[in-house]
Amino acid sequence: MKAVAVLSSLAAIADAAATWKNARFGGGGGFVPSIVFHPTEPGVAYARTDIGGIYRLNDDDSWTPITDSLADTAHWGRWGPDALALDPQDADIIYSAVGMYTNDWDPNNGAIIKSTDRGETWTVTDLPFKVGGNMPGRGMGERLAVDPKNSDIVYFGARSGNGLWKSTDAGESFEKVDSFEAVGTYIPNPNDSSGYNSDKQGLAFVTFDSTSDTVDGATSRIFVGTADNITASVYVTEDAGATWEAVEGQPDQFFPHKCRLQPDEGALYLSYTDGSGPYDGSLGSVWRYDISSGEWTNITPVTGSDLNFGFGGLALDMQNPGTLVVASLNSWWPDAQIYRSTDSGATWSVLWQWGNYPELIYYYGISTEKAPWIRNDFLDVDSKWLGWMIESLEINPHDSDHFLYGTGLTIFGGHDLTNWDRTHNITIESLADGIEETAVLEIASAPGGSELLAAVGDISGFSFADAADLDTAPQNVWNSPKFTSTDGVDYAGNNPEKVVRVGKDGGAPMLALSSDGGFTWALHAGADSSASGGKVAYSADGDIIVWSTESGNVIRSQDEGSFSAISSLSSGAVIAADRSDNDYFYAGSSGTFYVSSNGGSAFSEAGSLSGVDSIRDIATHPTTAGTLYISTNTGVFTSTDHGATFTPLSTTLTNTHQISLGVGAGSTDFNIYAFGTGPNGARLYGSGNGGDSWTDIQGDGQTFGAIDGARLAGSGNVGGRVYVGVLSRLVK
């Protein structure tokens, strides 16, 4: 999932310099299925996220996004990397297979992207099928690999029954390997009509044996894993891919997730689970395969009733053959477990164990200084400290003390792993600084109030009091109550310390109020469990709430009373409150605009919008009552009389989506920002002259995925600054 992009302050829209950076949540916030270190070049490592693109590791443990330029509105799925590969012979080269979904949620086929300068620039090779970076099984892998003896040869294991593919021109083109017939037949749920769980999982990994001979300049021995659990799931070629056969004697009960070569031992290590991950897995195993003898050894570190999970992340210490770590994929209670062996899996030690029940004895300490909210609002209120969905667990091949592992919340790791063997105690830190991978569902900036309010999927949301705070990870998420996901947030224009938010969990009251800019909260007294999700509008004085719920009607509450349906508005209506006049609310449904002058009690049809059949968003002026801007399928309209009449703005911008106003160059000037189609295509535009003309302020180096889902907020306090929240990032 990504975070919030922030455009640095501009003197004027016409002089817009498209410089963007992350608002800092500091802790990741979403699933990191893979981390890859370069095998021969120290200091080179990358992480792939499921919907937030790829990040490069820096010397100070922080991360830099390197695929932000790839996910334009036509190719938003390119922020979904499903596989990652480095060229063992050239540390500057990185490949990734990208594409978000294999069902119809993503309209595009996937692609193989390649960089020869560590992610500064990319080339794209389109594939004739889809790739599933956010599909089940995305933690398997890596499905993509470069021949360690021939940089021109790249293999990719596809999903959906598409089999094994090969490039012989360093990724410029790919052809199917017809000699490899296995396709990975496992389907999690054949009855899933959405296609999300009813697609074949396909191939799981491609692993070259760098110790094998060469055939015609290529590595002769290659192992490929498939998502099968009945007979064979691991295949091998001894002739550089001309022929393939199932590896004899292999386990046939579970699905392989990771396959790692230890060249000094001449062995493979593999982790197995009874599901394809990343959410499932109640049984599993770990195996060692001696390549020369063909002997398989079950080295599963736990047995019997203690084995109630599968295994995902698996790492070998390349400085110390025979030393490895493996993680439970999903041990939901009381916590995940990580196991370490220094004798090739013959014996294991653990990171925690039971004392006198319910006491736990910990062999680690944990720190979240880079993202305090992880400790304050997750670790300290749950038993799961080590994490969940651990599909990637890595030991730096050049530093046996340096380890990293990805979870469903962050990247953990540290720099003292060998202390495990000496004192049986290590230090674990949250080390995802720079990986801003959260689904931002709504944002707002309150003039005279909190500079940024961010409603976030899976981790509730955040408040930033001042612009300077955007460079510091918050102490807390929105809590008391903490909604798993917050769908909408709004503030009272005349009293911006008053904030309202709505959650989308369901099954409990999903509306909370704050009187201090979103730092402390209380449940709305009139809310019940019948409504959730959607968007919310707060009256100018902060005493009336209009809520366009996802679960039903548009409803209204005054003075924290119970909610009642607004019969004059249809379900799903777009809503907004006048920022200065407490009596006025506005709404749009299809192409019809509605106004309420009695605090939202009733709405009536107002001014007509010629040629409009879809009202997408409504932005009300921060300081002038009755002035508003309407984003539609034909462009932007404005009204200065509470929506009684409308005037279309410049025809430069059409088919617009979210729209927002923010402080301009002067303290009383306001810029308009809108996502729409303009001279440079579908992207973000700004106007500093009331919409008479529009300037592309996005630039070429930053994309926001599908712009119809991006969130937008002009700063209420900093001239020329605008915030963009996407389904994977919040940038400024």
Q: Residue 402 in 3-state DSSP?
A: coil
Q: Are 277 and 389 in contact (CB under 8 A)?
A: yes
DSSP, residue by residue, 37-81: E-SSSTT-EEEE-SSS-EEEE-TTS-EEE--TTS--TTSGGGG-E
Tokens of 375: 């400790």
E-strand spans in 385-528? 392-395, 403-406, 411-414, 426-430, 440-444, 452-456, 461-464, 486-492, 495-503, 511-514, 522-523
Whether residue 481 has a cis bond before it, omega within 30° of 0: yes
Question: Cα separations (Å) of 204 from 142, 246, 458?
Answer: 7, 15, 27
DSSP, residue by residue, 13-34: GGG----EEE----SB-S---E
How far does the chain reach from its first CA to its final CA, in angstroms? Answer: 17
E-strand spans in 209-274? 214-215, 218-219, 222-226, 234-237, 245-246, 255-262, 267-273
CA distance 627 to 622: 9
Residue 577 DSSP symbol: E
Going by DSSP bridges, is the β-strand pair 245-246/234-237 parallel, antiparallel, or unpaired?
antiparallel
Strand order in the sheet with 203-208: 203-208, 222-226, 234-237, 245-246
Q: Is 469 one of the catalytic residues?
A: no
Question: Cα separations (Å) of 569 from 88, 96, 611?
Answer: 61, 47, 21
Residue 436 DSSP symbol: B
Q: Is 581 one of the catalytic residues?
A: no
Q: Considering 280, 401, 416, 458, which one is annotated as catalytic?
A: 458
Beta bridge partners of 492: 495
DSSP, residue by residue, 621-652: -SSSTT-EEEEETTEEEEESSTTSS-EE--TT
Q: Residue 343 in 3-state DSSP?
A: coil
Cβ neighbours of residue 685 closer than 8 Å, sequence gap 6 or more? 653, 673, 674, 675, 676, 678, 694, 695, 696, 697, 698
Beta bridge partners of 56: 46, 64
> CA angle 506-508-510, nearest 5°?
75
Q: Considering 50, 106, 147, 199, which one is annotated as catalytic?
A: 50
Which helix (H) or strand (E) covers residue 671, if one does?
Answer: strand 670-678
Cβ neighbours of residue 81 closer than 8 Å, sequence gap 6 or more? 48, 49, 53, 54, 67, 96, 97, 98, 133
Which helix (H) or strand (E) covers residue 376, if one does?
Answer: helix 372-377
**In 19-37, which positions are buried (b, 16+ CB within 10 angstroms) versus exposed (e)?**
ebbbbbbbbbbbbbbbbbb
Residue 473 DSSP symbol: -
Q: Are 250 and 233 in contact (CB under 8 A)?
A: yes
CA distance 646 to 586: 13
Q: Residue 728 in 3-state DSSP?
A: coil
Q: Which residues are catalytic?
A: 50, 458
